[in-house]
Each structure stands twice: as structure tokens, then as C-alpha cells.
Structure 1
Amino acid sequence: MRNQLPSSLHNGMMNYLSDLEWKQVLDSLQQGLCCCGANKYADWLHTPWIHVDFLRENSHTVLRYMRVDGRALPPVLPSSCCNPFSPTPCLHDPLQQQRSLSVWRDTPQTAIDTVFDKGCLDLILQPMVELLTAIPIVNGCCIALQLISGILLRYIYTSARNSVLVGDPGGKAYGWIFGRGDCRFALGSSLLDIDKKRAAKQKPSGNSGQESKEIGPRRHE
């Protein structure tokens, strides 16, 4: 994606004036994201997007920007690169805005301040990068939820199974993730040992009833 998108944008910039669909896409992109060019606004200045047929070849101004290979690279930007929040008029086309020629030559920063200086490539890729970053986090959360759900279900299953094994299907029994008897696991206390210990803890001591009688109030004769 990062390798294909720049070449695609560059191809669209070269066909900006000859392909209406590319013009609409780039204009919407640059105005919507407040950007200009692929990596920076200067991409337009190094791209032969203005065909020679659209220029007056006998113009001294045009001849200044003609290359040996017949391409024209004037310091002209599409109007969609104009920054509507600029306090000064947009100086995007020195060929038609003759007064801005000296501005581009003497104080180019003044002209640049009237257009978007950020490229569109990073702004396009930023949501994709954020999405790719979020996918592992979401997957990790899903795995954690599945693990927690599996542990809870394992506790519920073993508790229900053990209650049947001790002969009390409707009662309570210990549950575990992995215990003695699971997959022929032989270590740890058996279910019978655990149930005996629980019964011993719940069984009242023999003297408790007698002590309660002695401590209780006596009947007066």
C-alpha cells in the first residue's frame, strides 16, 4: 500500500488536466484533507501536469520553465491547493497572476503560506496505520475474553460433573480447571478426598450441642 499509493497519486497528478475523474479525485482529496501533492506541495512543481498544448510556447514567461525534453514545469499549483483560511489571496498560478511572479521569485514563503504545504500521502495512510495498529489490540482482547470464558465454563462443567459423581446432582461441588482424573491426571487430591474434607468442615463438633445447652438459660422450678 505504501509503495503503490505514491505512484498512483503521481500518475493521477500527471493526468490532472486530461482525465476528469482524476481531477475530481485530487481536488476532493486536497480540499477535504487540506493537503497538496503526494509528499508536499512541491510535487506539483516537479510533475509535468500542464501539457505544452495548454501554454503559449512563444511567451517569454513560459519559455523560462521549458525543459530540454519539451516538458513545462512552471511554478503553478492547482486551485484546490489554495488554503481558504489564508489572509492573503492564493498565489497558486504565477503564469496568470503576473504580479505573483516576483513573490515566488523574491519571497517564495509568502506564496507558500497561501496554499496547503502538507502532502496528502501521510494523511491518507494515517487512518490505515491506526487501523492496522488497532487490529492486534482487538484480537488480543477477543482472545482474552475467550480465555476467560473458557475458564469459567470449565469451572461450571467440572463443578456440575463432580456434583453428580458425589451423588448429589442438585447440590454443590468443587470445580477446577484441571484436576485429578482429567485426562488420566493422577496427582492432587481425589474428588472423594475433597468431599470428605468439606464434610468434615461442615460437620458440627460433638460438644457444641451440649455446651449450648449448658450456656442456655435454666428453667426455674
Structure 2
Amino acid sequence: MALWKVKFDLKKRVKLAQMLWLMYWVSVIAGVLVFILGLFFKIELRKRSELMDNKESHFVPNLLIVVGLLVCGISAFGGKICYDSLDLPKFARWKTIINPFLICCLLFNTILFFTALLCFTMRIPLQYTLADGLKNGMKFYKDTDVPGRCYMKRTLDLMQIEFRCCGNNNYKDWFEIQWISNRYLDFSSKEVKDRISSNVDGQFLLDGVPFSCCNPSSPRPCIHYQVTNNSAHYSYDYHTEELNIWTRGCREAIVSYYGGLMNTIGLLVLLVTALEVAVIVGLQYVKTSLSTLVNPEDPESESEGWILEKTIKETFTDIISKIKAMGKGNRVEEEVEVQAVTTVS
């Protein structure tokens, strides 16, 4: 017994074909959006590649770009089939292609679904790659005269201004590294000597942060030196007063930004997947309704369409039987070959 059998006349078949044609072109537009968003995400990652610990994070945007192009191609091809289904002579040339095309579409939908899952889980690898990348980048902040690192200060400052963040986990991360270059330190100063000698690694550490950590919305002039020294500033208590520097860590801010972007792309890919499933079902109805015409020479005659010729259980059983038959056929061929070799020897 066929699964979800529906009776069709010419009017119903025409409406179904037209609706599928429209849905396919909506899918093409969605594919273009997926491609553009994948390209945008790749550019965004490239902009901050210096702060990434590895290049593995580009796998997802590359996959989105490829998937977007495939959605456009597959949907345009499906739209052409639906358009030709309105003319029986034209549709006849597609009959041998539709079944392989539907199988390819099912496999592609599986890829789309896993692509959406990768988008939703992209936040996890980003957290790890940014944790080490930002930590190393902050160490190179002072190396403005070292080839290959001379732009790190500019990159970090622009990042902290754009994302309104400070440090890796928070602003106190700057207290643990020397972010001021030695060329700008007066080594004849007692304060500088004391700070360097009091550190095991001989670094110049201070309770200060770069200017890019300053919050421009604060009514008070920015205090980014001696942040934890209450006596150094008038009417100031860093424990109780809201600091006029960003307290949010840059890793959290960037992951939140990229995570929101990837969730949006993941939802779009899921919608494309649902749309592709719907048009596959519709195309199957078009194919079966045109192959069961009461009078194949009369396009106005009635017909029946279905999703599966048999029930799900029967279809699954048939597939298993065919796989087993193929396995037995391969074994028989191997035994014949072995016997032939034995006979010759």
C-alpha cells in the first residue's frame, strides 16, 4: 500500500508544480544568503586571525560557502524540473534523472543538518582558540618594533574599543604581563628599578591597562593607571565605585558576538533544510502523479501520487533485502573466481 496517496487532476498538478517552482527559487535566495554569511564570517575570522591560536576555525565558514553554492545549484536544477513538468513531452526527458536527483537531495539534506549543528557548536572551539590566542597576543602588545608583531598593539587596541572589553578574561589580565616596551621605560628611575627587581621574570608590571580599555561613557576622566590604588586618585574606591574601564573580558565578548552570528546562520541552514525536505516531498508527488496518468497521452486525465510506493516498514525491508542480495552476489562471484583460479592451477 502506497504511503500518503493523493489523487490529482490537471489543476492540482499545475498548482503543485508552480508552488514547487516558487519554493525552489526561494531556496536559491536562501542559498545565496548562506553563501554571503559564510563569506562574511570567514572575513571576520581573517580580520582577527592574529588572535586565533589555530586555523581550524575556518572549516565552518568554508563549509557554509560550499553548502550555499550547492543549495543554489540544486534548487535551480529542481526548479527547472518542476517548470518542465507542466509540459509532458519536456518532462519525459527528466524521468530517468529524477530518482538519482532525489537520492542526492536526501544525502545533501543530511549534510545541511550537520552543518547547522556545527554552526550551533562553533562557540566551543572558538573559546579555546581565543583563550590561547588572546593570551599570546597580549604578551606581544609591547613589541611594536619587532617584525611580525609590530601591528599587535593596534589590533588589540581596536578590538578592545570595538567590543568594549579589556584583557582576556578581564582587565586584571593586563596586571600579569609587561605591556609597556622597555624603550619607553626610564631605567634610571627608582620606581622602574623597584618594579623590575621585585618580579621574578624581571618584568615591569603595574596595575594599569591600555587606554583602549577606557569606557567613554564614564563621566570621570579615565583612570587606567594605578587602577587598584585608591590613594592615587581623589574620591576613588575601586572596590565600590564602578570602574571607568571595561570590566568584561574580550574572549567572552568575541565569543558572544560570533556565537550569536553562528546561531543565526545555523537557524537559516535549518530553515533551508526544512525547505529542501518539503520540495523533495513535492517533487516526489509530481513524479508519481505524472507516471500514473490514466491516459498518458491526455494531460488532463486523473492520476495518483504518493511519497513511497510501499509503507515505511516494507520499503526498509526491501532495501535490506536488496543489500543482502548484493552481498550474496558478490560472494558468489568471489567463489567462482576462486574456483576458476584453482582449476587453472
What TM-score results when the alignment is normalised by the length of structure 1?
0.67
Instruction: Select the structure of larger CA radius of gyration.
Output: 1
User: Shift of residue 25 of structure 1?
Assistant: 0.5
Q: 2:156 aligned with 1:26, yes or no?
A: yes
Q: Deviations over 1:145-194 (max 9, x none)?
A: 222212212222222221156774431222222337xxx98xxxxxxxxx
The one-letter code matched in structure 2 to 1:143 is T
Q: Deviations over 1:4-24 (max 9, x none)?
A: 322222222222222230111
The equivalences for 1:139-150 within 5 A come to 139-150=269-280
User: Shift of residue 54 of structure 1?
Assistant: 3.2
CA contact (8 A) 2:177 2:203 kept: no
Q: Which moved more, 1:156-165 or 1:117-126?
A: 156-165
- Distance, in Å, in 2 between the alignment partners of 1:31 and 1:8 is 18
User: Structure 1 residues 88 and 49, CA, compared in 2 at 3 Å: closer, same or farther?
Assistant: same
Query: Which 5+ residue runs of structure 2 have no aligned equivalent?
Result: 1-125, 145-149, 316-345
Q: Which moved more, 1:9-18 or 1:162-171?
A: 162-171
User: Structure 1 residues 157 and 136, CA, compared in 2 at 3 Å: closer, same or farther?
Assistant: same
Q: SS at 2:157's partner residue? A: helix
After superposing on structure 2, the runs of 4+ consecutive aligned residues of structure 1 that deviate more than 4 Å are: 164-169
The equivalences for 1:145-156 within 5 A come to 145-156=275-286
Match of 2:287 in 1: 157
User: Structure 1 residues 35 and 136, CA, compared in 2 at 3 Å: closer, same or farther?
Assistant: closer
Q: 2:203 aligned with 1:71, yes or no?
A: yes
The equivalences for 1:171-210 within 5 A come to 171-179=301-309
The one-letter code matched in structure 2 to 1:147 is V
The equivalences for 1:108-147 within 5 A come to 108-109=238-239, 113-147=243-277
Query: Which 5+ residue runs of structure 1 have no aligned equivalent?
Result: 186-221
The equivalences for 1:47-66 within 5 A come to 47-63=177-193, 65-66=195-196
User: Structure 1 residues 111 and 30, CA, compared in 2 at 3 Å: closer, same or farther?
Assistant: farther
Q: Which moved more, 1:163-172 or 1:143-152?
A: 163-172
Q: SS at 1:174's partner residue? A: strand
CA contact (8 A) 1:90 1:111 kept: no
Q: 2:139 aligned with 1:14, yes or no?
A: yes
CA contact (8 A) 1:91 1:100 kept: no
Q: Which moved more, 1:146-155 or 1:111-120?
A: 111-120
Q: Which has the higher contact order (CA 8 A, sep 6+)?
A: 2
Matched residues, number:
178
Higher helix share: 2
User: Structure 1 residues 136 and 34, CA, compared in 2 at 3 Å: closer, same or farther?
Assistant: closer
